[in-house]
Amino acid sequence: MHRSLERRDAPENIDRFYRIDLGRDLFGQWCVTRGWGRNGTYGRQKIDSFPSARDAVQAFRALEAAKRRRGYVARG
C-alpha cells in the first residue's frame, strides 16, 4: 500500500510532500515507511516495525488521516 500526499499554499510559502508505504522488510516484519519534506528535496525518512499486518495497517491509516486533517491532499 502506498500514499503520496502534498500540501501547497503559495501565500504561506508551503510546498511539502508526505509519503507513506506499507510493506515487509527482509526479516518478514511489517513496516510502515514514511518520508516527508519540502518538494524538490530528499526530505527525511522513518521506518516503524509492527508485529502484525493489522497493527501496520492501523498505523498507516492513522498517519494518513492525521496528514489529511492538516491539509494534505493526494498528489496527482
Of 2, 4, 5, 19, the closest CA to residue 71 belongs to 5
Q: Residue 30 is part of a domain; what is its CATH number?
A: 2.20.140.10
CA–CA separation, 11 and 66 (whole Å): 23
- Can you give the pLDDT at residue 21? 97
- Can you give the pLDDT at residue 76? 64
- Can you give the pLDDT at residue 5? 95
Give the chain's domain count.
Answer: 1
Domain range holding 36? 2-74
The single-letter code of the amino acid at 25 is D
Four-residue CA torsion sign, 26, 50, 38, 72: positive
Grid cell in block for residue 43:
526530505
pLDDT string in tens for the chain (76-residue length):
899 999 999 898 899 999 999 999 999 999 999 999 999 999 999 999 999 999 999 999 999 999 999 999 998 6
